[in-house]
Structure formats: structure tokens, C-alpha cells
A and B are shown apart, each in its own frame.
Chain A
């Protein structure tokens, strides 16, 4: 059992930090005034190993460490970072960040209060590089399994990557938090060729887990079979239809719909600035009355979960839409203070080099009462999409897209032909109003999501039961 004090000790011992130095840096950061200052220390080690054409062609390791120092004054943020954690350089970075404010010096709150947080994920007992052969074995198993699936599988690439990120946060409001965050992922990419055409398939997943997860719960064979199955399926795919139609989305990763259609639009920074299509819609109907959507950073071992966010606050479950009514936004410290709204612990950043902002964690729709078979049976002519590449949204106009990588035609209530890749498009504040059926089969994705915002990438999760949208535009080329 590693205590949070243990996370701090890592920084104190490895980089010679002390609570006294943290206090001095915060004092320096507020030397020209300002409402708030924080220090974000980060140390990351990462490993990656890849197999390609049945050869282990790549193996790499990286380490990085640094500290980002932020000073907030009203709506202004000053930021500086350093990858040299000596006292001199930290104090210099604090003085650079302090330039944002201009006034009499402020004193940080005396004494730190340590954030109490749960332990949502295991911390690998051994160093990441100690079990290289086990990792090697995972990618070799994936390679064998994908090739064994079908003789038409011609190329297989599989990679295993993991990282261990340690963070320590100290703030002028007395916040003091630390965490050790594992993140692991296995990916499989295959090409199938039947002599006529070439298609691709991908599989992958993981989470805040250690390597044992891939030996027991989700094996290399599971992900490899998924990749091979979709590539072979695509060999027989017909053109996707074009135009507005009924769309059924399968459970799990298709929840990327929620991430794009509503999630981003409900991040508090866009609403504080009134640049989101959802600004001012709290309390209004934005989805069918069957729809309830939450963001939940407290799910054990999930890719989007965090014991504390990157501002040192505990994460939580936040209801975004309840029975179709918009209930709340996802906030960080800055937006909660400026908007005088609840702070939801969603302040995240890609690394010490970036300013935190409101971000999603695991975003999903709660299960309904319908049987998935009944949902499909109710569709006269439409699209059944069960897997997606990714999505994107224009926050201001609300227009969003997500691209289906595995989808089928539904004709007279039956799944018929698989279709080629196609993008689906909709309008965030409107799209979920057309949700007419919700399955009882809620699933979270397998742990593949990475969300980009303002050039910062963070791991996230999504989830959804099977749902039916009475209309949505499908961007194929067929009839």
C-alpha cells in the first residue's frame, strides 16, 4: 500500500524539493499580487514496444520531469515552466509567471492541507522496465492471434505502451496533493487483402492498469481478434448510405457521440466566455427525456479516471444532463470561481508545460429499459454503427462529427450488409432530442480515448448503451 506521502517523498528525494521550497516558490509567484498560484511537478517514465511483420522492430523508453508554475489574477493567467527543478530555476519560473499581476505582494495561505483521495488504480509494484519480456510476449501473442484468424490477414502491427506519471501539486490556497498514475495500452492494427482489395482493422484498449490486466481480463488475443474481424468484415463492405436516416449506435465506444455532441460544449471555460452553443441553456431541454449523461472521474482503473485532477482537487461524478434537462458544467478552479458555480474537479492538463483547463474524464449515458434487439427491430431503413474512429466538434456552432469504422445497413429491422467508413454529422444541442430508445446494455469503451483541446491531449473514457436516434445525417456515397 503506497500512501500519498510516498508520492511526495519521490519528488523530495529525487529532486531535492522541500515544503519550505514550495512555500518560497508560491511566495515568489504572488510577489506582484494575484489571486492564486500553484506549482505542478510532474515526472513521467514511459515504455513502448512494437511488433511489425512478426519482428520486434521498436523498443523505446523515455523519462521527463518538470514543473509548471501558474499565477491567476482575475481572469488573467501567467504561466512558466522549467525542466530543471533546482531552487534557482523554480524561483525564476515563479517570477516569470508573476509578471501577469501588478500590485502589492500577496501571501499564500500558511500551511498546506493534503487532499484526501481514494486509490482508484493500482500502482505497479515493479519498475516499468523490469518485465520487458512479459510486454514482448503480449505483442507476440497479438501478432500470432491476428494472423491465425484468417489467411487473408497480411500485415499485423501490435504495440504495448505504458507510462507512470507522478504528480505533486502545491497551491497558494493551501492545496497539497500528489498521485501516481499508471496508464497502459495494447494496440493492434491489421491489413486484410483478398487479392482484390485491401482493408484495415484496429483493436485496442487498456486503462489505469498494470500488465496483469492484459494477462487476465483483456488479452492480446481479444484485441487481435477484434482487429482481424473488422478488417475481414470490411472486405465485403458496400458503400455507406448518404442522407438523413434512423441511426442505431451500439454500446461502448460509440459514446464518443456524447463526448462530441454535448461533453465539450459543457466544459465551463466555453460557457464562461459564452462561446459554446450550450451557453445559457442550464435548466433547458437539450435531449429527449429518456437521456441522462454523467461525467465520472472516480471509476476504478478507467483510462479517464483520476484520484485527483491536475489542480489537486478530488474528481467526482457530475450529472450533465438529467432526463433531458441540462444540469451542469464541468469546471476547474478558475471557472468555478469566476462563474460562482460548483467546482467539479475537472481541471486537467497534458503536461507540466501546459495551463490546466476544464476537461472530461469518463463520460457516459445511463442505461434505459429497451432490449437491443427491439431497438434494431424497430428500424425500417437505417444505419447500425458499432465502432468509430473518432470525432470532432465546433463548440460555437455546435456542429459535430464522428466517423464510423464498423457499421451495417438495417433493412426492415434486420442487420444486412456491412458498409464502408462514413462520417455522421449533427448539431449538439439538437441531436440528442431525437433519441427515442435506450438499451439496458450500458458499456464503457475498452480504453482507447484520447481527447484533444487547444493542442493538449488527455486520456478519457466514454460509454453508452445501445440507442436509437430517429434522425441523423450519414455521410456516405450510396443511396
Chain B
């Protein structure tokens, strides 16, 4: 059903540049337009029966205008001439109440550009399957989990999702660009029950930019079942300090925290514990963290950022030393630096900062070798809640997982917290796995961190 044919391309680019021109005529000294268009399909199959089937598309326009050193923005789903007139007059009206800010403005013309090779972000095969076969993907995934063990008799369902999107971007300093992206995923969330009636659920998934790269529904279902079953009959443990081993799918949230700490918006305000730490040791010497928006087929890849600057690869942390902040045009000017091509913008508002493909470089140890070194510790497979304070670094989250005893995984643990301070945690990473695997735009191998507190009984 994809409506994203190439025919529409020139029309939307033309519309974007027309709006830029009209905004300039109406009094803007500079203007920037983003147009987004997308289709989505999703289905859930529960206990073998279709539960939901959803199929639709939508689009929107966002406009940012500059009047001297003032800025304002509007957004709309109304593509009529009247709607666009309102979009422009509204933005100019708002710009009359904002303040003059010497750091506001589009990037310099020389900075605009795009990655000059095909990032392979779009495959229309995500829509090639007929609806019946998409449903079959979801059904097969759930069925594989349900048939894994008799303790699994219930489920939150299996899903299959597909989406395609087009993003068109133009500004008054001559940049026009667009790209298409596609996405599909299959997942399931089985529920297991132990003899005493205790229930546990877990989840597994596969995502890809093309159908052919998706893991088989059967392998996703089997992994979901394994993850769910190992949680049954969990215990609490006494409050203590012990080494913690973060499974890769959990460790990636810590890499996200490194990104947040290096986010230029927090840096210039002094709202991050990385402020003023450029060139200093902020993590263990073995740590290398990279952000790269140019990985072919990557979930975090794009040919240009939210301001029309080419995305690029940069090393954020090298051998534990902080090498760069992550910046858009505004924060770069505030810090007297250059943008790192990390601008992101939605339809409304000023650009923010986001990562491309963000990862911690793999180490040499297998996950088993990491566990083998732990006499007594906690292997964390799930975190609950948002208890991370990026200003102070204080970290305290609900956790569940498995207890490590003499290098082996033993019984499941639940209803405990893990706590520390990110400043110390990054320095206390004492082992890095070789199991880096991109399942999204942020990835980490298995990590061991020492010195954290587990609160339980």
C-alpha cells in the first residue's frame, strides 16, 4: 500500500522550497521547512487469533522562521493553501515575541551537505508481503514461544510492524534534500507461570530495514520463551555491594547515558557531569564510544542531520578520555565550537541533539568469560524505571536478572534496585564483551561494573 513512490518526490521538495520562499517574502530573513510523510502497518496476534490490524498514513509540515536574531516555529497537518498561509503568518507572529539571541540562526552555507554514498535506508519490500502473510509472521513468532514449554500458556501476543517514511528538508540558504527510510519488526511477549501461580513475562524482537534481514519469527519466539522462563521463581537478595554484569540489551542504556552526558545542550548549561571534562579521563581506559550516522543500513543513519549538515563518524570517548561533545549549530556557537552534525528536529520547535548509531566498541572477552571471573554477583537482564539524574550522575533503578555464583548463572533475582553514580560507574567498567550486536541505533556489548549497591531484603 506504500504511497511513497518517487513521483511525489519533486512535488514535496517543490512545496518545501515554495514555503521557504513565501516565508522570506512575508518578512523572514531565513526559513527552514521539514515535511514528513509516512505509512504504518501493524498487527498483533494473540493466542493464535488476530487481535488488532492497523494500516494508515499521515503527513505534516514544520516551519521555522528567523527574523534577524529571533526565531519561532509552527507545524501543521493542513497542506491546503490556506493552511500554509496560516503556517507562515503564525510563525512570523510568534517570532515577534521571542528574544534576540546572538547565537540563533541557520548554519553557514558552507556547512550544508549530505553523505555522498547510498546509506541503503529504504527497501519497499517491507510492504511486499500481503496482509495475510504479515499476520502469519506475528502468529508464527507467538506460536514458537508458546510451544517452547508447557509453563507458557498465555501471551501478550506476537506482532509484525512495518513502516516507511519520507523526510524532505529545505532552507533559505540553498539546502534541499530528502530521504526515504523503511522499517519492519517482529516480536512476541510470552507469559510463563510457575507451579505456585507466579507469572512472569519477557519479550524478544527483531528489527530490520528490509524484510529479508529480519530474524525468523521462530528464532525470535524461541528467544522470548527462553528469556521468560529463566525469570520464574525469582527471589530477592540481601542488600549488598557486588559486581554487576549488564547483558548487552541492558548495557546499551548506559551508552545512552554517555551520550546524554556529552550532549552539548547540557554542556553549555553546566547541566552535565561531563561539563568542562573535554580531554579528561571520564571512563575506564578500555572504553571507546563512537557515534556514527553513516553506517550503511544503520537504524541511526541518515544522509543529513536535522539542520541539513552531513552526518559523520566521531569518537566520543577514546581510551576513556572524553574527545568531543555532541553538538548542533546553536550549542556549537554557544561553546565556540563546530556542529558535529547531531541536530535533530521534529515538526515543531528548535532542533535538539540526537545520536546516529551509538555504540561502545567490542572487547575481547566472551560473555561466558566475563561471568566466569565473577565469584558472586548480579547478571542484570532488565531495568525498571527512569531513576537516572544526568545533572548529578545519581543512578538508581529497579532490576531483575540472575545471580552469579562461582562464575555460573544460578537462580533468578527480582524486586531489587541497583544504584551508583554514573561518574564512578563509567570508570569502574572492568570487563567488556565481544558480543556487540546492533538491534537498534544504540548498542553495547556485555559490561561488568564494580562497586554498585544492590538494595533488596
* B150: Cβ under 8 A from any A Cβ: no
Bound-state CA distance A163–B344 (Å) is 24
In whole angstroms, how far apart are the Cα atoms of A63 and B347 in the complex?
A: 11
- Could you tell me which residues of chain B, from 134 to 191, have a CB within 8 Å of some CB in chain A? 154, 156, 191
Q: Which residues 250-296 of A sit at the B interface, judged by CB distance below 8 A?
A: 273-275, 277
A119 at the interface (CB under 8 A from B): no
Q: Given A61-B94, A243-B456, is A423 in contact with B391 using a C-beta cutoff of 8 Å?
A: no
Residue in chain A with minimal CB distance to B382: A394
Give the segment of A193-201, A207-215, A311-319 that binds chain B.
A193-201
Contacts of B239 in A (CB 8 A): 242-244
* Interface hits, A449-479 → B, CB 8 Å: 473-477
With A155-B271, A244-B457 already in contact, the answer to whether A475 and B52 are too (CB < 8 A) is no
Binding site for B on A (CB under 8 A): 48-49, 55-66, 75-83, 93, 96, 99-100, 129, 132-133, 136, 154-155, 191, 193, 197-200, 234, 240, 242-244, 273-275, 277, 353, 355, 389-394, 396-397, 399-403, 420-423, 425-427, 473-477
CB distance from A137 to the nearest CB of B (A): 10
Given contacts A191-B271, A193-B270, contact A83 B58 (CB under 8 A): yes
**Interface: B398 (CB within 8 A):** yes
* B201, A397: Cβ atoms closer than 8 Å: yes
B78 CB–A CB distance under 8 Å: yes
- Docked Cα-Cα span, A129 to B231, in Å, equals 53
Q: Which of B86, B104, B398 contacts A399 (CB 8 A)?
A: B398
List B residues at the A interface (Cβ < 8 Å): 46, 49-60, 71-78, 83, 86, 90-91, 93-95, 97-101, 104, 131, 154, 156, 191, 198-201, 231, 234, 239, 269-271, 273, 347-350, 384-387, 389, 391-392, 394, 396-398, 400, 414-421, 452-457
B77 and A83 contacting across the interface, CB-CB below 8 Å: yes
B97-A49 in contact (CB<8A): yes
Residues of B within 8 A of A421 (CB): 387, 389, 392, 394, 396
Contact (Cβ within 8 A) B392 A60: no
CA distance A78 to B135 in the complex (A): 13
| Cβ–Cβ < 8 Å partners of A132 in chain B | 93-94, 97
User: Is the beta-carbon distance between A422 and B75 smaller than 8 angstroms?
Assistant: no
Q: Which residues of B contact A355 (CB under 8 A)?
A: 52, 54
Neighbouring A residues of B97 by C-beta, 8 Å: 49, 56, 59, 132-133, 136
Cβ contacts A to B, 30 pairs, < 8 Å: A48-B349, A55-B100, A57-B98, A59-B72, A59-B73, A59-B98, A61-B91, A63-B76, A76-B51, A79-B55, A82-B56, A99-B53, A100-B50, A133-B97, A198-B273, A200-B271, A242-B455, A244-B239, A389-B386, A389-B387, A397-B201, A399-B414, A421-B387, A422-B394, A422-B396, A425-B398, A425-B455, A476-B396, A477-B396, A477-B420
Q: Which residues on A sit within 8 Å (CB–CB) of B231?
A: 397
Cβ contacts under 8 Å, A426 to chain B? 415
Residues of chain A lying within 8 A (CB to CB) of residue B350 = 57-58
B433 to chain A, nearest CB (A): 25
- Given known contacts A61-B348, A473-B415, what 16 new A-B pairs fall within 8 Å (CB)? A57-B99, A58-B349, A62-B347, A76-B51, A76-B52, A83-B59, A83-B77, A96-B56, A100-B53, A132-B94, A355-B52, A389-B387, A392-B384, A401-B385, A473-B455, A477-B421
